[in-house]
Amino acid sequence: MLRHAPERNLVYPTELYFYFRFRAGHRWISGNLRFTDAPASILHIGYFDENDRSFVRASSFDATDGVELSRSGPGRYAVSWGGIAREFVLVSPARSEPDLLVTGEEFVADIVDDSGHSFVLVWAAEPSTFRYVLNPHALSPETLDPIPGSTPPLFVGRESRFVFLFDESGRAILLGVHASNIRANNYYDGPFDQVPPGFPLKDKLQAAYPALAHRSEIDPHGNYLGSPGQRVAISPYVPYDSIDALVTKAAAGHARGATALQVWEGLTLAWRRANLWGEELAPDTALGDLLSK
What is the pLDDT at residue 288?
36
The string of pLDDT tens digits covering residues 51-93 is 888 899 999 999 999 999 999 998 899 999 999 999 999 887 7
Q: In the listed set 60, 90, 120, which residue is the last one of a domain according to the structure?
A: 90
Interval 27-60: pLDDT, tens: 999 899 999 899 999 999 999 998 888 899 999 9
- Count how many domains the chain has: 2
Cut 0.85: pTM above it: no
Phi first, then psi: what are they for 35, rounded to 5°? Answer: -110, 20
Report the relative pairing of strands 129-134 and 154-157 from DSSP bridges.
unpaired
**Percent above pLDDT 90 for the chain:** 53
Q: Is 113 helix (H, G, I), strand (E, B) or coil?
A: coil
Per-residue pLDDT at 272: 65
The one-character DSSP state at 218 is B
**Is 50 exceeded by the pLDDT of residue 285?**
no
Residue 19 burial (10 A CB sphere; 0-12, 13-18, 19+): middle
Regarding whether 13 and 142 lie in a shared domain, the answer is no
How many angstroms separate the CA atoms of 121 and 134, rounded?
9
Report which residue type is found at 176. G
The pLDDT of 97-101, averaged and rounded, is 81
- Enclosing domain of residue 29: 8-90
Do residues 102 and 86 both lie within one domain?
A: no
**134 domain residue, yes or no:** yes
Q: Last residue of some domain: 57, 74, 90?
A: 90
Backbone angles phi, psi at 167, to 5 degrees: -90, -175
Instruction: Judge whether residue 290 has pLDDT over 90.
Output: no
> Is 114 in the same domain as 70?
no
3-state SS assignment for residue 184: helix
- 50 and 114 co-located in one domain: no
Tell me the pLDDT band of 25, cut-offs 50, 70 and 90: confident
Q: Is residue 221 part of a domain?
A: no
Any domain includes 215: no
Asked whether residue 120 carries a pLDDT value surpassing 90, the answer given is yes
What's the chain's average pLDDT? 86
DSSP conformation letters of 231-266: B-----SEEES-HHHHHHHHHHHHHTT--HHHHHHH
239 and 173 part of one domain? yes
Q: What's the pLDDT tens digit per position in 183-242?
A: 887 889 999 878 877 788 899 988 888 877 766 688 888 888 877 777 888 999 999 999
Output helix, strand, coil percentages for the chain, rounded to the nearest 5. Answer: 25, 35, 40
User: In terms of domains, do 176 and 286 share one?
Assistant: yes
Whats the size of the chain, residue-wise? 293
Instruction: Please check whether residue 259 lies inside any domain of the structure.
Output: yes
Final residue of a structural domain among 90, 115, 149: 90
